[in-house]
Amino acid sequence: MNSYSYIDSPIGRLLLGTDGEVLVRIDMDVPSRRPRELESWASDAAAGPLPEVARQLDEYFAGRRRAFDLPLRLTGTEFQRRAWHSLMEIPYGETRSYGEQAKRIGNPNASRAVGLANGRNPIPIVVPCHRVIGADGSLTGFGGGIERKRWLLEHEGRSGGVRQLVLSAAAGASLGAGAEPSGGCEA
């Protein structure tokens, strides 16, 4: 049975969704009422992995967790799944450009497609699409809003903040890879 619950976080209220066995979604900017597409879902904070998801997210936001160990189901095209799995390889406190991500999945000319795939990431934060930035080091689009993206990057880069993360990513980025998409991870 599909179930959902809400948790409060430093970046606002989050909606967690499960099919009863695995985490299938995390939504940001959740309205006070249940989204229409969840009308057939049950509100149950104890369903499947939701208690563990909430615990691990709390630890992440408290600075006590750098990696998640949760059962996930990433539903999408083969390309989207490759892009999302590559996001999980970006270490805590580091960033990559869309072009770098495209190269890592074996398609160096697909930075725009990578941006579109990241924009459809159903499980942000756990699948860290916020760690992908523009080739020039800019904080490009993020479905949860640029301020949330900035907060997440600053949270992960406590020693130097987001500016250091952005500068190091810009220094390592291939500027000849073409324009970066303006879209980003959406929730």
Query: Which member of 47, 72, 105, 129 is catalytic?
Result: 129
Residue 44's CB: how many other CB atoms inside 10 A?
Answer: 15
- Token pair listed for 65: 């967790």
In degrees to the nearest 10, what's the CA dihedral of 73, 75, 78, 79? Answer: -100
**Exposure on the CB side of residue 139, measured as CA atoms within 13 A:** 19
Active site residue 129: yes
Specify the residue for token string 């000319």: 109
Beta strand 3-7 with 23-27 is unpaired
Residue type, 148: R
- Token pair listed for 168: 């190091």
Q: Cβ(8)–Cβ(57) under 8 Å? A: no
Residues annotated catalytic, as ranges: 129
